[in-house]
């Protein structure tokens, strides 16, 4: 099982900030996001726009980094201007 934490202004479309996910084999951060479905889908766009920093076990990672059982994944929201733009669109 991995833990996913959304920090700053980030949250799922349901307003959650802490999630858990079972991983039978190592997958990329992108695949973790895709497996979470609609709730985290907006995170991919934010990663591409460089508005989110992702870490795995407190080390900076990318959407192509591998995540494995027992890892802690954190998404830290930042937009450089202190404004919004990080909330999921419905």
Domain boundaries, the chain: 2-73
Cβ atoms 27, 35 nearer than 8 A: yes
- The pLDDT tens digits along the chain (90 residues) read 999 999 988 888 888 999 999 998 999 999 999 988 888 888 888 998 889 999 999 999 999 999 999 999 999 987 654 444 445 543
Does the global pTM surpass 0.85? no
Please name the fold of domain 2-73: Ubiquitin-like (UB roll) (3.10.20)
pLDDT of residue 3: 96
DSSP 35-75: HTGGGTTHHHHHHHTT-EEEEETTEEE-TTSEE-TT-EEEE
């Amino acid at each position: 099982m991995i833990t996913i934490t959304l920090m700053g202004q980030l949250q799922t479309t349901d307003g959650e900030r802490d999630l858990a996910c079972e991983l039978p084999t190592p997958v990329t951060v992108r695949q973790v996001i895709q497996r979470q479905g609609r709730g985290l889908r907006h995170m991919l766009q934010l990663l591409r726009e460089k508005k989110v920093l992702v870490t795995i076990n407190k080390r900076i990672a990318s959407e192509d980094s591998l995540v494995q059982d027992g890892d802690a994944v954190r998404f830290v929201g930042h937009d450089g201007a202190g404004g919004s733009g990080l909330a999921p669109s419905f």
